[in-house]
Structure 1
Amino acid sequence: MNRAAVDVHFDSRYLFLDMSEGPAVQFPLDWFPVLQAATVAEREHFAISMDHEQIIWPEIDEDVNVPALLSYRPENAGP
């Protein structure tokens, strides 16, 4: 089984994507301006698609494609 998104949580600076296998993966919250501007309650109201490839926040009309996010490598990132 491939790693699958099973939960999402936040702190003041990061979005944490909890995976079915392995540790949570963190991403800077400023990569997601809509989520950064959202209230805590809006961030907590999300759904994960049945295939675990989309995370959807219906109240703020935001969604994240998990495979695309996991495969993203910033140009200035190290190895």
Structure 2
Amino acid sequence: MSTLTFETEPLAVDVTVSDETLRVTLDDGREIGAPTAWFPRLRDAPAAARSKWRLIGIGEGIHWPDIDEDISVLGLLAGNRRHSRAA
């Protein structure tokens, strides 16, 4: 079993959310994406709520205050997903 390790912690600098995809730009220029289906609160939220996000800390994660959703960059890189609306 391998362990995910990083020379530096990847940090988010920008976020876009469409009906189908969450896309996060990292400080090193990479983009990571995941289907919004992985995050039902995000998927089911109106576009205005999805576009209102803020970085957690210096970019370790993203918070959507209108829908009370938090997603970490490391969680996205590891492929973590939410399976229900229950937190």
Aligning the two structures, in what range does the TM-score lie when normalised by the shorter sequence? 0.7 to 0.9
> Is residue 24 of structure 1 aligned with residue 31 of structure 2?
yes
More displaced stretch, 10-19 vs 24-33? 10-19
Q: Percent identity?
A: 34
With a CA cutoff of 8 Å and minimum separation of 6, indicate the structure with the bigger relative contact order: 2
Q: Which residue of 2 aligns with 1:14?
A: 21
Q: Which residue of 1 aligns with 2:67?
A: 60
Instruction: Point out the structure with the larger helix share.
Output: 1
**Which consecutive residues of structure 2, in runs of 5 or more, have no partner in the other structure?**
1-7, 81-87
How far off its partner does 1:6 sit?
Answer: 0.7
Q: CA RMSD in A?
A: 1.6
> Is residue 38 of structure 1 aligned with residue 84 of structure 2?
no
What is the CA–CA distance in structure 1 between the aligned matches of 2:68 and 2:57, rounded to whole Å?
18
Q: What's the TM-score once normalised by structure 1's chain length?
A: 0.80
What is the CA–CA distance in structure 1 between the aligned matches of 2:42 and 2:66, rounded to whole Å?
11
One-letter identity of the residue aligned with 1:33: P
Q: Which residue of 1 aligns with 2:10?
A: 3
Aligned residues: 73
What is the CA–CA distance in structure 1 between the aligned matches of 2:67 and 2:18, rounded to whole Å?
18
**Which consecutive residues of structure 1, in runs of 5 or more, have no partner in the other structure?**
74-79
